[in-house]
Amino acid sequence: MSKIIVLIGAPGAGKGTQARLLEERREIPQISTGDMFREMKDADTPLARELKETMAAGKLASDDLTYQIVRDRTSREDPAKTYLLDGYPRTAVQAEQLEELAREQGREIQAIEVDVPRDELLKRLTGRRSCPVCGEIYNIYSKPPKADNVCDFHPEASLTHRADDNEESVSTRLATYDGQTKPLLEYYEKSGRLKKIGGTGELEAIYGEVEKAI
């Protein structure tokens, strides 16, 4: 049976990086709600303006809107192939909505927790930069680009710092994770669908663990 792989971890745990590696090396499509919302927020519509404010403050978009975009986007995937969700579900309601989607699509859910200590998360979030062209993620402390502030693959593009990686939004995002998303770990654990991996150390070692878990 094809699966929906769900990566759960605090902001800055490295879910996006691992998801991108899985996509490159195993051809598992990664569907990131954060990326989809970042694309949507720049349109000139009331919804986009509201989304922009929500995201800059580090708050969550509504469950129903999120479900709508996840449902729409995942319906384009090959039913015979596994795909990965990065950043979804994040609330109990979203987890229930995902059960319904998985049933409809005839897929089983496999959750993976990427665990990183809090002090490390803070360093990662404030040091995070990304390429506006290809989305490659860097960190000024732990994974700097070859040349200052430009992408290794797109030297014409200056790296950008996410608007919601400022100190205030970061603390809201971490509190939201603790309050709303962390309880989902127990939910998946109880139903025997959770694997836990450590998200610190060498990138390749972490990737090895992710591969083992799927």
Residues that bind ligand AMP (CB under 6 A): 11, 33-34, 37, 54-55, 58-61, 66, 87-88, 90, 94, 164, 173
* In contact, 111 and 57? CB cutoff 8 Å: no
Nearest position to ligand AMP, beta carbon: 34
Q: Which of 41, 107, 129, 173 is catalytic?
A: 173
Give me the residues paired with residue 130 across strands: 137, 160
| Shortest CB 128 distance to ligand AMP, Å | 10
Q: Report the alpha-carbon distance of residue 31 to residue 47 in Å, rounded.
A: 21
Residue 124 bears catalytic tag: no
Residue 196 bears catalytic tag: no
| Shortest CB 80 distance to ligand AMP, Å | 25
| Shortest CB 23 distance to ligand AMP, Å | 16
| Shortest CB 84 distance to ligand AMP, Å | 13
Q: Report the alpha-carbon distance of residue 209 to residue 196 in Å, rounded.
A: 9
The helix or strand, by DSSP H or E, that contains position 126, with its residue range, turns out to be helix 118-127
Enter the DSSP assignment of 164: G
**Cα–Cα nearest to 6, from 33, 26, 35, 25:** 33
Residue 173 bears catalytic tag: yes
Structural tokens at position 164: 């919601």
Enter the DSSP assignment of 163: G
Q: Which is nearer to ligand AMP, 42 or 208 (CB)?
A: 42
Q: Which is nearer to ligand AMP, 58 or 199 (CB)?
A: 58
Structural tokens at position 146: 């070859």
Length of the chain: 214
Residue 49 bears catalytic tag: no
Q: Which is nearer to ligand AMP, 82 or 176 (CB)?
A: 176
Residue 162 bears catalytic tag: yes
Catalytically active residues, by annotation: 15, 90, 128, 162, 173
